[in-house]
Every structure is written in C-alpha cells, then in structure tokens.
Structure 1
C-alpha cells in the first residue's frame, strides 16, 4: 500500500508545481508592471527637475537679451523636457532681492504664474536686475492609476524649483 501512495504522490507533483506557478505569476507580473508605472513617474520627476534648472539658468543669463522673460523660460523648459506635455506644465516665476535681515535670505516679489507653452510676461523684462535672484517653480500632473486602482486618490503633482542669480 505504501508503494501505491508513493506513485500517486509522484503524479500529483507536476500539478502542484503548475498550481503554484499559476498563482505566483500574476502577482509577479503585477509587481513588475506596477514598478514600471512608478518608474515612469520617477522619470518624469527627474525630467521636470532638469528642465526647471535649464529654464532658470536660461532666464538668469537673458537679462538685456529678452523682452519676455517668461517666454524665454518656457522655450528653454519645453526644449529640455520633450517627454512632458507642454500644455500641462504650470509655471511660477518670481524675482527676488537678497536681504540681510534675520535670517538672511532672498525676498521674492509676487510670482508671475501661467500654464502651457503660451505663457508670456512681456512687461516684466525690467525685473531682470543683475545681482537679484530669479526663482522658477514648475508643476506637472502625474497619473498613478493602475488597473483601475488610483494610488494617489487626492491627485499626484510633480514639482521642481530652482533659483538662479541674474547675471
């Protein structure tokens, strides 16, 4: 009788492995695809950060060369971030004066805000004063909905900011 039990056990082993495989593969695929989804969001964050830095640097060296500092910044940002949808970018640009108050820092004026590739502030070229600081803040929406599950129900917004000394 023991031999018979052993034979049945050998026949059941391939089915057991197949069952474990069938149960394990969907979980592994879910983890793989979810990590790829988060990798895309992380890539967008890195791209946004680099584009914000590029835009602020271009703005800081364009004093006297531009009559529309916002359009100059938008052009530099959209060129540096071709993978991001330009219409979804929201800009906030502020010009500041270094202060010696306690604690020392930079006092920024009212930010100029706008959205998309048509953002313009043609009357603000006079705010580009050598020795002052230009701060650029850009936000971009992200989507973390995966297989009908929203991992960020209150919304997901990527944000990057850079401040550069105006030359």
Structure 2
C-alpha cells in the first residue's frame, strides 16, 4: 500500500470528475458495456485517487494521464480474465497426469546417450541450473559451458536421427 497523502488539491478531484464522461467513452472504445464499463471507470478513478502523486501537472496533461491509467487497468483485468481457476479436486488430477509410456521410453533413451562432462553439463542445464552455476563448478566460463552443451546437443540429435 502507498502512504496516504491527504494534501491532494481539490482541483485534481474536480478535474477527475470532469473527465468522467470521457472515461465512459474510452471504456466503450475499449469494448466494455454497461456495468463492466462503470466498473472500469470506477477502478480508474480509485486508482487515480490512490496514485495522484504520480501525476505531474506541469508536464502531464490530465486526460493523457487518465487515458494511460485506464489502459493499464484494462490490460491487467484482461490478463486476469484469461486465468482459469481449477476446482481444488481437479488440480491434483491435472498435476498427476501420467506421461505417455512412449515418451518416457524416448526420454530414457536420450538420457542414456549422455556421457562424460558434456553430458553432465547438458543434464544440469536441462534440470534448471544456470550457466553461471555450471561454469563455477567446472572451472570454465559461461560461454564455454554454452559451447559444450551446444556441441553435446548436436551429438545427441545426430545419434537420434541415425537411430
């Protein structure tokens, strides 16, 4: 939360209220209708009132500032709408989906082809270690690790294509 600053000038509030019809039109242009448009305007006003110290009256134009605040709120709300909630019981079912046996056999075959230091580096990178961590443990540079892993990947691809 932001620290409250009660020194907001009344002219800021008056200007914000004066731009409400424009905010409604902008909400309509962004594809909101009815209650959704009203919610977007309300969220924008609340955000502007909370973050009024970010408005630089000398360099910003009020409408431009409101416009960009509303666009940000719109983008955030649209990204939240794309998130789909999974019921608690279903989440475990989705997470526990077993891999296809053919895929498991293929992965085991690829891992069995990894050999030596290059294979270890490739496996560590695949498991999520960073180039820096691998380089530090092996006493080489990040670039050298990247080169070794690239060469090993090429070798694996050639072996897999030959098989």
Higher relative contact order (CA 8 A, sep 6+): 1
Q: Which has the higher helix share?
A: 2
- Bin for the TM-score computed over the shorter chain: under 0.3
TM-score, with length taken from structure 1: 0.19
Q: Which has the higher strand share?
A: 1
TM-score, with length taken from structure 2: 0.20
